[in-house]
């Protein structure tokens, strides 16, 4: 591959065209997922229960337009997840010409490693103690890490004082 230097304006024009393609893809993903947002919200309201009765968590609507905005947010986030591979491809196509060959050879192991690390069962091992601590107790923990570490630490028992 021949490296041809480009002026700054050409780089900005390429960036603009790639960002426009990403926005168009996000708009299409939003339109598609907004059509299914009622089913997505229903799936989020009924989490998977392995033991016991299925639970349906109702939406807490405080403001008049909150339900509508919630469906829009769900459609937007689901649309983002739907078109994320295209957006990452556009990012790669913009960044790759500026990388050297020895830098490009590290990208595949980095991408594979980051994706396998994200999808390991470690997430599920941490999610179960956290959910039982937050849902099972009457008070909500003050930090996200406290729910992880509270299940790993032994419970303190109060001993009667001997006065």
Structure confidence by residue, pLDDT tens digits, 94-116: 988 888 888 888 887 777 776 66
Report which of residues 24 and 127 the model is more confident about: 24
Please state the domain count of the chain: 2
Using N-to-C axis directions, what is the helix angle for 8-35 and 66-95, rounded to 10°?
140
Assess whether 81 and 46 both reside in one domain: yes
State the DSSP code for 98: G
Residue 2 has a pLDDT of: 59
Assess whether 13 and 58 both reside in one domain: yes
Report which of residues 52 and 91 the model is more confident about: 91
Which domain-ending residue is among 77, 98, 119? 98
Place of tokens 């905005």: 69
Contact 70, 41 (CB under 8 A): yes
Helix (H) or strand (E) holding 102, with range, is helix 101-104
Residues in CB range of 80: below 8 A, 6 or more apart? 26, 29
Instruction: Provide the percentage of residues in the chain whose pLDDT is more than 70.
Output: 67
Give the residue numbers spanning the domain of 71: 7-98
Q: Is residue 50 part of a domain?
A: yes
Q: Is residue 118 part of a domain?
A: yes
Assess whether 88 and 124 both reside in one domain: no
Assess whether 126 and 53 both reside in one domain: no
Assess whether 118 and 41 both reside in one domain: no
Assess whether 62 and 108 both reside in one domain: no
Assess whether 45 and 79 both reside in one domain: yes
Report which of residues 36 and 47 the model is more confident about: 36
């Amino acid at each position: 591959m021949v490296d041809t230097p480009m002026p700054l304006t050409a780089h900005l024009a390429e960036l603009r065209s790639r960002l426009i393609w990403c926005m168009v893809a996000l708009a299409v993903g939003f339109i598609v997922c907004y059509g299914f947002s009622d089913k997505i919200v229903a799936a989020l309201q009924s989490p998977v229960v392995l033991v016991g009765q299925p639970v349906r968590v109702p939406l807490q609507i405080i403001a008049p337009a909150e339900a509508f905005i919630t469906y829009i947010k769900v459609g937007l986030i689901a649309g983002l997840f739907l078109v994320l591979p295209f957006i990452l491809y556009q990012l790669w196509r913009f960044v790759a010409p500026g990388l050297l060959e020895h830098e490009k050879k590290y990208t595949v192991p980095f991408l594979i490693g980051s994706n396998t690390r994200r999808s390991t069962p470690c997430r599920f091992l941490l999610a179960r103690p956290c959910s039982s601590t937050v849902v099972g107790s009457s008070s909500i923990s003050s930090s996200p890490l406290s729910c992880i570490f509270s299940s790993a630490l032994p419970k303190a028992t109060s001993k009667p004082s001997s006065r």
